[in-house]
Amino acid sequence: MQYKLIAIDMDKTLLTDESLLTERSKEAMEAAEKKGAYVVLATGRMAANVRALVEKLGLNLHSPIICGGGSQVVDKDYNLIYSCNIVPDVAKQVLDFCRDNNIYCQIFEGANFIFKKHMPQTDTYVGISGLTPVEDPDIFEREHVDTPKILIIEDEETIKKLQVTLREKFPMLNIGTSRPTFLELNNPDGNKGVALKVLAEKLGLSRDELIAIGDNQIDASMIEYAGLGAAVGNALPEIKDIADYISADNNNEGVTEVIEKFIINEETL
């Protein structure tokens, strides 16, 4: 078996538009593990949220998980094995920028996400994440900001403009979208590609033994790092451009197609 690990983005990749997991997909993932492959969820979601979602979906996996857009890796029991937070001074500068420009942003501490004032964006994220919302009116006054990532939630056009501005202002950060209205900021060593590299080295695997599949900007680094980079059919054009293989979309079991083709049936490109 050439491919011994597949890293899978969750939202709009593994899960349907309704955040569902099909029975066929579940069976394929569990079959891949039984065959000896690692089936690694690789998501922008934080570990506490992933744990709750995996239980809700009824997934029975025994592989590590890449969380927080690559800022954290946990083992099968959700023990932290890799972490890379944003440099606190830089995180503070980002919060200052958001304050000065009236931009909604969140930081993360354990199972909590923290924001200045409850807004519609807060409810949006609660519905997606299941994490505990914590309102902190003094968040922008914090002298020390220690967080694995900062998430900005605004309308799609605002996010496009902010991404350009923030990439120019903070070249020391990895800045990309996970959804059209979500802009994620991480330490450059806290992206999915670095996390996949760290994990592969811990497991004694080479790049040629890795598959990564996703749909959005924060998936690009792991798609480029893996020996086989795949994009689901609904992926952004820029993600399809760097992929070695394009599968069906997330509503038509694109991830399952890749697992069955390259792990279970052991085909190669």
Tokens of 131: 């994490």
Which pLDDT value is given to residue 268? 86
Looking at this protein, which amino acid is placed at residue 16? T
pLDDT, tens digit, for every residue of 80-92? 999 999 999 999 9
The rounded mean pLDDT for the chain is 96
Over residues 222-239, the pLDDT tens digits come to 999 999 999 999 999 999
Given phi > 0 = left and psi -120 to 50 = alpha, else beta, which region is 45? beta
Domain covering 5-83+190-264 assigned CATH 3.40.50.1000 in the classification: yes
Q: What pLDDT shows up at residue 133? A: 97
Residue 199 is predicted with a pLDDT of: 97
Contacts 24+ apart (CB under 8 A), 158-162: 159/183, 162/103
Residue ranges of the domains in the chain? 5-83+190-264, 88-186
pLDDT in tens, 149-172: 999 999 999 999 999 999 999 999
The pLDDT of residue 130: 81
Q: How confident is the model at residue 195 (pLDDT cuts 50, 70, 90)?
A: very high
Q: Sorting pLDDT into bands at 50, 70 and 90, what band is 1?
A: confident
- The pLDDT value recorded for residue 129 is 87
How many C-beta neighbours within 10 Å does residue 200 have?
Answer: 22
How many other CB atoms are found less than 10 A from the CB of residue 9? 30
Is pTM, for the whole model, over 0.85? Answer: yes
Convert the pLDDT of each residue in 109-149 to its tens digit: 988 999 999 999 999 999 988 899 999 999 999 999 999 99
What is the predicted pLDDT for the residue at 93? 98
Decide: 152 and 104 in contact? Cβ < 8 Å. yes
Q: What is the pLDDT of residue 132?
A: 93
For 19-42, what is each residue's pLDDT tens digit?
A: 999 999 999 999 999 999 999 999
CATH code given to domain 88-186: 3.30.1240.10
Q: What is the pLDDT of residues 37-80, one digit of tens each?
A: 999 999 999 998 899 899 999 999 999 999 999 999 999 999 99
Residue 154 three-state SS? coil
Q: What is the pLDDT, as a whole number, of residue 269? A: 82
